[in-house]
Amino acid sequence: MQMNTMTCKQLGGACDKEFKANTFEEIAEQSKKHGMEMYQKGDKPHIEAMGKMKDLMQKPDAMKQWFEEKRKEFNTLPDQ
Ligand SMILES: [Zn+2]
């Protein structure tokens, strides 16, 4: 089974924590959860990163484009 790895940073976050998943939806969910945890801990870089993502979410077209770019990135990662 194919497992791809992306870091928090690659997914619009703020650290080098790695997530592993089979699908982009899964990895996006993991990074979101992690982002929320760090946000609740009051981690400043993550709060800033989440602020940027929130801005992005105000623009559905930009958000969609970002999502598609990341999905492409995820799907072209070499098998681990
Ligand atoms: Zn992080």
Q: Tens digit of pLDDT per residue, the chain (80 long)?
A: 678 999 999 999 999 999 999 999 999 999 999 999 999 999 999 999 999 999 999 999 999 999 999 999 999 977 65
pLDDT at position 33 is 97
Dist. CA 63–CA 69, nearest whole Å: 10
Dist. CA 51–CA 44, nearest whole Å: 10
pLDDT at position 77 is 77
Write the CB contacts of 38 (distance below 8 Å, at least 6 apart in sequence): 13, 14, 15, 46, 47
CA-based nearest residue to 24, from 41, 5, 46, 43: 5
pTM here is: 0.87
> Which DSSP state fits 21?
E
pLDDT at position 79 is 60
Question: For residue 2, how far is its CA from the centre of ligand 1 (angstroms)?
Answer: 23
Question: For residue 1, how far is its CA from the centre of ligand 1 (angstroms)?
Answer: 26
